[in-house]
Structure 1
Amino acid sequence: MSNEKQGFARTLSHRHVAMIALGGTIGTGLFLGAGSSISKAGPAILLVYIITGLFVFAMMRALGELLISDDSKPVFIDFMTQYLGKKAGFVLGWTYWIGWIVIAMTELTAIGTYMHYWFPDMPTWPWELAFLVALYLVNIIAVKAFGEAEFWFSMIKIIAICAMIGTGLILALGHVKTSMGTTEFSTLWSHGLVANHGNTLLAAFQMAFFSFLGVEFVGVTAAETKDPLQTIPRAINSIVFRILVFYIGALSAIMIIQPWTNYKAGESPFVQVFSGIGIQSAAAIINFVVLTAAASAINSAFFTTGRMLYSLAGPKSRFGRLDRNHIPRAAINLSTLIVGLSVVVNYFFPTDAFNLISSTASAAFLIIYMALMVTHLVYKKQVKEGNVSGTKMFKLPFSPWSDYLTIIFLGLIFILMLITKATMFTTILSIIWIVFLAIVAQIKIKD
């Protein structure tokens, strides 16, 4: 089906897509969760992120090759339906949809918590409702409005990271004394290179991987991107460089300014560092950054779930239609109503209940990523057999070996989650969810 028949408007520019791709790799995991990662790995966390980043890049190159082969598909799950079958597409499509719904619900709950920092005497639900309505309006006005919102959400995160890197360089080059001691580059390695004798290093891989959840989101924007044959490859190819700059740079700066042994799990290292050098409003600044990160996640969730539901529903359903602004408004409306239930549910269930479900969704994303690599393998086989036309301009390097290695890496992360006490239950829940959908697909769908 051509993009013209679908009626999508190509209004997302390279500037939008580049920032969407970058924003998908930078979440609250870096700003709030880096302390836990550092405490588990020490300076070895840099190597963990480099290795994980390379496999994420391989996955994105595979996704990019699929997108370039047919840029009219509204969501990348459509490639899974084409190459793995309708049943697999059904299971993976609804898993991806519900995964983003749950992420949006948990992030909406988090927004209430972040606003509580400034307004402790005010209930959280009005803030949650206000953000819900504002981001819904952004998504139904025009695709370009969504792109602009994501651009500035990502820019705020980048400014915070650049501030951390710049602070580390200035303090280290000037050998500046702070409340944490004299800042030296050698602080990075002078307290050892691996935490806990390497006993918790594997857990750091799991945490690093989940920092990148959502990186595939750029694959949902292809059908609404200007010049996708140029824009998508440029955005994907920039991911590795940006991972090195923003993750490796920020984490290095954090461990140069203050010995890595001083960081504690559950405390933001950004707040610790900025507070330690005398910035009294550090906690408020980082609270604002994570607030925008949560808003960005909800914004992305509305965009993704709308397109996903549009694709799953089909043209005969009201949810499979576009409005005059070339937006699947009905699909976005339903997704927004479901996400909005979190405002009501928060009255009856603790936040921990949402965190539990969110972790289950995160584990399910691993299955989707592995399925993406399998889809790429099937696609390459189809190209080799002459059943579909391939692309010469943007290929996954070293395929099929890079496909196999990425699947093995993702599989090991999944196994690690399955045998780790903290994530075992949620991982089993994700398996049950997949099995349930597979049974439904077997009953309802005929390939």
Structure 2
Amino acid sequence: MTDIAHSVASDISGGAELSRSLKSRHVSMIAIGGIIGAGLFVGSSTTIHAAGPAAVFSFAIAGFIILLVMRMLSEMAIALEGVQTFPDFARAGLGHLPGFLSGWLYWYFWVVVVAIEAIAGAQIIHGWFPGIPELAIGIALMAVLTAVNLMSARAYGEFEFWFSSIKVAAIIVFILLCAAWAFGFTSGSGATFINLTQHGG
């Protein structure tokens, strides 16, 4: 390890720890819920509509890159005892400036994503309740997200656990419905995988 890595690890390991009120089920569903956002339902449909079957390859390449990054982070987590956040990993491996930038870029990412998630959620809910303006729905969603994040870590963990469970259940239902259609159980014309190559893809 470099001198910076040693200093970062020693600085962090010597500090006081916060109390741990989240259970493993909370942490697991927070991770899954963070992966499954409104972009999966809204953004993927736009990408598939624009690119066709090529979107599958794009998602696969992006997923492989993310897998590599997570493998690297896991190796650093084992090698650097006491370091627990990725800005500290960047600081230990690349220097103080990359660590500083990655922390603030992460903050900026969530500032933007929360607004995008609220807009996407407002579009979806507006489709169900067209009488309610999208702006009002978006503001209500932002208020709920803010209120949840201001609660205790345990309350946030419970909220995220149950709402992530709803998202996971919805995705499983979508997969089963699409599989039933693609294999010809509910489609009138039999299996529909041929549409990947015919009619322009």
Q: What residue in structure 2 maps to residue 160 of structure 1?
A: 170
Indicate the percent of aligned positions where both proteins have the same amino acid: 34
Q: What residue in structure 2 maps to residue 91 of structure 1?
A: 101
Shift of 1:57: 0.9
Shift of 1:77: 0.8
Shift of 1:94: 1.9
Could you tell me the TM-score, scaled by structure 1's length? Answer: 0.37
2:200 is the counterpart of 1:192: no
SS at match of 1:105: helix
Contact 1:113 1:124 in 2 (8 A): no
SS at match of 1:6: coil
Q: What residue in structure 1 maps to residue 111 of structure 2?
A: 101
1:325-382 Cα offsets, whole Å, 9 max, x none, are xxxxxxxxxxxxxxxxxxxxxxxxxxxxxxxxxxxxxxxxxxxxxxxxxxxxxxxxxx
Contact 1:22 1:154 in 2 (8 A): yes
Contact 1:67 1:76 in 2 (8 A): no
Aligned-partner Cα distance in 2 for 1:73–1:150 = 25
Q: Which amino acid aligns with 2:93?
A: Y
Task: Go from structure 1 to structure 2 and tell me whether the alpha carbon gap of 1:136 and 1:3 turns closer, same or farther (over 3 Å shift).
Answer: farther
Q: Which amino acid aligns with 2:89?
A: F
Shift of 1:114: 4.4
2:72 is the counterpart of 1:67: no
Match of 1:34 among 35, 44, 54: 44
Q: Which amino acid aligns with 1:183?
A: G
1:133-191 Cα offsets, whole Å, 9 max, x none, are 43333333321222222222322222222112212333455x3454xx4231xx21455
2:142 is the counterpart of 1:135: no
Q: What residue in structure 2 maps to residue 8 of structure 1?
A: 18
Q: How many residues align?
A: 190
| Structure-to-structure mapping, 1:189-338, within 5 angstroms | 189=194, 191-192=196-197, 261=201
* Between 128-137 and 50-59, the greater mean CA deviation after superposition: 128-137
2:129 is the counterpart of 1:124: no
RMSD: 3.3
Q: Which amino acid aligns with 1:157?
A: K
Aligned-partner Cα distance in 1 for 2:13–2:139 = 34
Shift of 1:131: 3.6
Contact 1:43 1:188 in 2 (8 A): no
Contact 2:76 2:89 in 1 (8 A): yes
Could you tell me the TM-score, scaled by structure 2's length? Answer: 0.72
Q: What residue in structure 2 maps to residue 378 of structure 1?
A: none
